Amino acid sequence: MTLSAAIGVDLGGTNLKIAVVERTGRVREGIACETDTSQGPDRTIRQIVSEIDSLLARTSLKRSDLIGIGVGTPGPINIKEGRVIHAANLPGWRDVPLRDRLHDEFRCPTTLENDGNAAAFGEYWALSDGASAGDDLAMLTLGTGLGAGVVLAGRLLHGHFDNAAEFGHTIVVVNGLQCACGQRGCLEQYASASAVARRVVAEIKDGETSELSRDVKAGKSIDSEAVVASARAGDALCLRIWDEACLYLAVACINIQHAYNPARIVLGGGMSSAGSFLLDRVQTRLDEHKWSLHDDLPAITLSALGSDAGVIGAAALAWQAAGS
């Protein structure tokens, strides 16, 4: 006899992750591959279908064993209609009925969710005991962009237009750096992994010196890991940009605490691999700027699931939809 299982899909512009996840949260089998964006949505959807089928074969499951499929995707999305409205990192993805396409294929309940929300729900699921609603939680995923999600009383917060908790696009600098979303000064432009690297490169091109100067002048690409390594080694420019990102994140945490008052704010995504070099600096800045009217503040923690938060969270949403 095979236990029933849910499928989690974490669809990104670069990477596609799919996993067979049990009710307990255990990942029975998973795959990670490059997203095939070469010919638009149809090709990518066929890739998802084919990878799910191969995962089912490897775990001796049939399509009929699935209790559901959960998909985390770049947004914005229309949750009621299960459509991806516009995924900027997925060429050609405009108004794609992804939920129904997968439902028609597998004939099981399918849930579509914003990728930041799915990751937040994954962290929530990992921390709760499954029997009752866990603590309210907010999450920031610090990667190519800055995704986010909020779980209140065991449910993801969606808002009237399905775009709640888009903290990456809260404005932190009036008339600041241009964001791909059309606004200026978004948090994503100062405190995502890509932004940290991009800002260091821009400063070097403007004449600042850094141990990364030679790489930049040689045309090598710089990522946030390189910035962190140089900052740890005492490079003044990298340390300044990293500290500024931590300050903006502390400000975001304070604003989140005033808006939603969660028990915990989780930092995930690529930047969180810096560990205490991120967490301690955010906490220090938060302590410098927090209000003094109340002592109870959210715990700021690093992601428990790391880069699997999105795929596990997507599967958790399928389990939740199934009433488990």
Of 25-33, 63-71, 186-194, 228-236, which segment contacts Zn ion by CB under 5 A?
A: 186-194
Distance in Å, CB of 190 to Zn ion, minimum: 11
- CB distance 55 to 30 below 8 Å: yes
* 181 near Zn ion, rule: CB under 5 A: yes
Distance in Å, CB of 249 to Zn ion, minimum: 16
State the burial class of residue 62 (Cβ atoms within 10 Å of its Cβ: 0-12, 13-18, 19+). Answer: exposed
- Report cis status (omega within 30 of 0) of the bond before 298: no
Residue with tokens 């985390």: 72
Residue with tokens 């991120």: 278
* 179 near Zn ion, rule: CB under 5 A: yes
Distance in Å, CB of 195 to Zn ion, minimum: 11
Question: Can you tell me the distance from the alpha carbon of 194 to that of 89, in angstroms, rounded to the nearest whole number?
Answer: 14
Give me the amino acid identity at 85.
Answer: I
Total interface residues for Zn ion by CB under 5 A: 5
Q: Which of residues 157 and 181 has its CB atom nearest to Zn ion in the complex?
A: 181
* 56 near Zn ion, rule: CB under 5 A: no
Distance in Å, CB of 183 to Zn ion, minimum: 5
* 322 near Zn ion, rule: CB under 5 A: no
Distance in Å, CB of 88 to Zn ion, minimum: 11
* 183 near Zn ion, rule: CB under 5 A: yes
- CB distance 278 to 271 below 8 Å: yes
Of 17-25, 28-36, 107-115, 183-191, which segment contacts Zn ion by CB under 5 A?
A: 183-191
Q: Look up residue 131 and give its two tokens.
A: 């029997």
* 163 near Zn ion, rule: CB under 5 A: no
State the burial class of residue 79 (Cβ atoms within 10 Å of its Cβ: 0-12, 13-18, 19+). Answer: buried
* 169 near Zn ion, rule: CB under 5 A: yes
Of 103-111, 118-126, 161-169, 252-260, which segment contacts Zn ion by CB under 5 A?
A: 161-169
Question: Can you tell me the distance from the alpha carbon of 185 to that of 204, in angstroms, rounded to the nearest whole number?
Answer: 21
HEC per residue, 218-235: CCCCCCHHHHHHHHHCCC
Phi, psi for residue 317 in degrees, rounded to 5: -65, -35
Question: Can you tell me the distance from the alpha carbon of 76 to that of 264, in angstroms, rounded to the nearest whole number?
Answer: 25
Query: In angstroms, how far is the first alpha carbon of the chain from the final one?
Result: 20
Q: Which of residues 186 and 316 has its CB atom nearest to Zn ion in the complex?
A: 186
Distance in Å, CB of 184 to Zn ion, minimum: 8
Q: Which of residues 228-287 bind Zn ion (CB under 5 A)?
A: none
Distance in Å, CB of 209 to Zn ion, minimum: 30
- Where does this chain bind Zn ion (CB under 5 A)? 169, 179, 181, 183, 186
